[in-house]
């Protein structure tokens, strides 16, 4: 994983495999990246079944939060979901935006886009569409989205600065995002950081929380707020794939360093009146 292209190819291959797995296999895995834990049932995923618009067929158990629950979506909004997978967050967003709104899902894995389109057809939704594309070059015009959501995907993007600048570009003036992701408050062992499975599993690719929020602010966003935060505990049976017993003991003796956060931020409004800037 030395280059951005190599990272993208690895993630694309892994998520293509996940798209062909059944939901139960994904649910028992490490952020969907393979059947890697016998101790827990989803170490990151939050349950969606209490949210209106939820469709079990579209839930591959790949997320680390509930961004659509915090996204303040209004009737008639245009919502863009980055890393839309099988359409889970898109269908929840569609309930909130209603028949008068529009939801656009973006994913760079062809198998996921096909799966999402099939789910939308089964549901009869004609205002939800799925596009194949890269988050570093989002296939959406400027100033289109009222709301952007994303669930445990931005941390997989090699150039996070470019990704958040793209989010800023596609948002309307005064628009906002709600994004769930994995961040760190300390250092991971090298063998975890260098593991492809842990990268695709949303852990090894995570950056420090302060750096993550700093990228968002540098992109021009205001009112940057952490809406939710929870610690992520990696079970010993996963750690044993990368660390020896002594290293596991040292790792577990530290305070929690892996967290899921849901972040909200707004694009600056256009300045139309004297003194408003």
Q: What is the pLDDT of residues 150-167, one digit of tens each?
A: 999 998 899 999 999 999
CA 208, CA 11: separation in Å to the nearest integer? 21
Question: Is 277 a member of any domain?
Answer: no
- 219 within a domain of the structure (yes/no): yes
Quote the pLDDT of residue 113.
97
Domain residues for 87?
Answer: 4-266
In a domain, 274, yes or no: no
Tell me if 275 is assigned to some domain.
no
Q: pLDDT tens digits, residue range 89-141?
A: 999 999 999 999 999 999 999 999 999 999 999 999 999 999 999 999 999 99
**Is 43 a domain residue?**
yes
Which own/partner contact pairs does 211-219 have at CB distance under 8 Å and 24+ positions apart? 212/160, 212/181, 212/183, 212/261, 212/263, 213/263, 215/160, 215/161, 215/164, 216/164, 216/263, 216/265, 218/161, 219/161, 219/164, 219/165, 219/167, 219/168
Q: How many domains does the chain have?
A: 1
Q: Can you give the pTM of this predicted structure? A: 0.89
pLDDT above 70: residue 33? no
CATH number for the domain that contains residue 112: 3.40.50.150
> Which of these, 44, 103, 43, 42, lies nearest to 73 by C-alpha position?
103
Q: Is residue 194 domain-resident?
A: yes
**Distance from C-alpha of 55 to C-alpha of 152, rounded to nearest angstrom:** 19
Tokens 């004297």, located at residue: 274
276 within some domain: no
Least confident among 5-9, 28-32, 72-76: 28-32
Is there a domain that residue 9 lies in? yes
Phi then psi for residue 236, to 5 deg, are: -60, -35
């Amino acid at each position: 994983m030395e280059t951005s292209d190599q990272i993208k190819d690895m993630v694309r291959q892994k998520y293509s495999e996940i798209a062909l797995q059944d939901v139960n296999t994904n649910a028992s895995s490490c952020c969907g990246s393979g059947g890697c834990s016998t101790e827990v049932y989803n170490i990151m995923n939050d349950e969606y079944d209490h949210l209106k618009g939820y469709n079990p067929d579209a839930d591959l158990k790949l997320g680390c939060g509930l961004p659509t629950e915090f996204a303040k979506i209004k009737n008639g909004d245009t919502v863009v979901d980055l890393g839309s997978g099988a359409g889970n967050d898109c269908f929840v967003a569609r309930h909130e935006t209603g028949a008068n709104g529009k939801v656009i899902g973006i994913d760079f894995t062809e198998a996921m886009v096909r799966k999402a389109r099939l789910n939308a057809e089964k549901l009869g939704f004609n205002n939800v569409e799925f596009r194949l594309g890269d988050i570093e070059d989002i296939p959406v015009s400027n100033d289109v989205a009222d709301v952007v959501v994303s669930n445990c995907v931005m941390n997989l993007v090699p150039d996070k600065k470019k990704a958040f600048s793209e989010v800023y570009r596609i948002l309307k003036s005064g628009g906002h995002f709600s994004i769930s992701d994995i961040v760190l408050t300390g250092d991971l062992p090298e063998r975890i950081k260098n593991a492809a499975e842990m990268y695709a599993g949303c852990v090894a690719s995570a950056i420090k929380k302060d750096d993550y929020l700093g990228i968002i602010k540098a992109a021009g966003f205001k009112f940057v707020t952490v809406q939710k935060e929870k610690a992520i505990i990696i079970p010993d049976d996963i750690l044993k794939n990368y660390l020896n017993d002594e290293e596991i003991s040292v790792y577990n003796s530290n305070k929690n360093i892996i967290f899921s956060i849901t972040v909200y931020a707004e694009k600056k409004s256009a300045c139309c009146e004297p003194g408003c800037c």
